[in-house]
């Protein structure tokens, strides 16, 4: 992987956190594939794929590609480059495709264009690693945790992005599911900046 090139992609995964994702994906996907909630432009998916490829495993990455609350017109992270005027909405599919085209590691990435809540009921493959990076509203983060944490292999990992302990540093929803996971038997494994890795015990 050309990490310098990967770091230049549009997305929400800083290099230090992305490299941590690569390492955790390599370590835990010997137990099964990885699944990501929140593809956006596939930047984080490519970091994960770099790790899963070592184990000949895929990363499934789920996104409806309509953007999260903060990406919508008039919101903090609105970006006209990902707004489709014909559709009248955010559409990150073209960005994802353009980014995946640039890297051989994309052969390990399987995009699923869907709402993660709709995919979960029919998902039966045990996951070596689950990465939650979808909508950061409390209800959405709780849904992602509730719908998907049971799909993780008994020795697999749960990775959560954007952990801020204090409300003035950032939204609290990812931190809430992190604390819930700890109460429900997951154990802290590692943290780099705002990305945390827990393991099932
Ligand atoms: C913060 S972005 C993900 C950033 C990406 N992981 C990266 O590293 O660049 C969150 C993404 O979650 C997606 N999303 C929000 N709610 C979702 C849901 N219920 N199911 C699937 N995707 C969802 C949004 O469309 C958005 O692209």
Atom of ligand 1 nearest to the CA of 68: 24
Q: What is the pLDDT of residue 62?
A: 98
In CATH, the number for domain 3-199 is 3.40.50.150
Tell me the CA–centroid distance for residue 186 and ligand 1, in Å: 23
CA nearest ligand 1 atom 11, residue = 38
For 94-127, write each residue's pLDDT tens digit.
999 999 999 999 999 999 999 999 999 999 999 9
Specify the DSSP class assigned to residue 81. G
**36 CA → ligand 1 middle, Å:** 9
Domain ranges of the chain: 3-199
Give the integer Cα–Cα distance in Å for 180 and 85.
40
* Structure tokens, 64: 């409806």
**Contact (CB, 8 A) for 132 and 148:** yes
Mean pLDDT taken over the chain: 96
| Residues belonging to the active site | 136
- The pTM of the whole model exceeds 0.85: yes
Strand pairing class (109-113; 59-63) = parallel
Q: How do residues 170-186 score in pLDDT, each as one tens digit?
A: 889 999 999 999 999 99
Ligand 1: list residues with CB < 6 Å: 11-13, 37-38, 40-41, 43-44, 62-68, 92, 115-117, 133-135, 140
CA distance 104 to 189: 30
Closest ligand 1 atom, residue 12 Cα: 9
Interval between CA 65 and ligand 1 midpoint (Å): 7
């Amino acid at each position: 992987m050309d990490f310098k090139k990967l770091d230049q992609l549009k997305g929400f995964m800083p290099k230090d956190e992305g490299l941590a994702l690569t390492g955790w994906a390599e370590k835990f996907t010997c137990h099964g594939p990885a699944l990501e909630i929140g593809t956006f432009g596939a930047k984080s998916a490519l970091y994960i794929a770099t790790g899963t490829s070592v184990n000949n495993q895929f990363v499934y990455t789920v996104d409806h590609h309509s953007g999260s609350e903060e990406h919508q017109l008039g919101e903090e992270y609105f970006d006209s480059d990902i707004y489709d005027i014909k559709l009248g909405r955010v559409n990150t599919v073209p960005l994802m495709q353009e980014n995946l085209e640039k890297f051989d590691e994309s052969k390990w990435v399987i995009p699923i264009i869907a709402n993660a809540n709709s995919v979960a009921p029919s998902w039966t493959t045990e996951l070596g690693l689950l990465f939650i990076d979808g909508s950061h509203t409390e209800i959405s983060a709780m849904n992602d945790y509730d719908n998907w944490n049971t799909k993780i292999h008994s020795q697999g990992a749960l990775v959560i992005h954007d952990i801020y302990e204090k409300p003035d540093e950032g939204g609290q929803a990812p931190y809430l599911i992190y604390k819930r996971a700890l109460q429900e038997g997951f154990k802290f494994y590692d943290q780099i900046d705002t990305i945390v890795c827990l393991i099932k015990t």
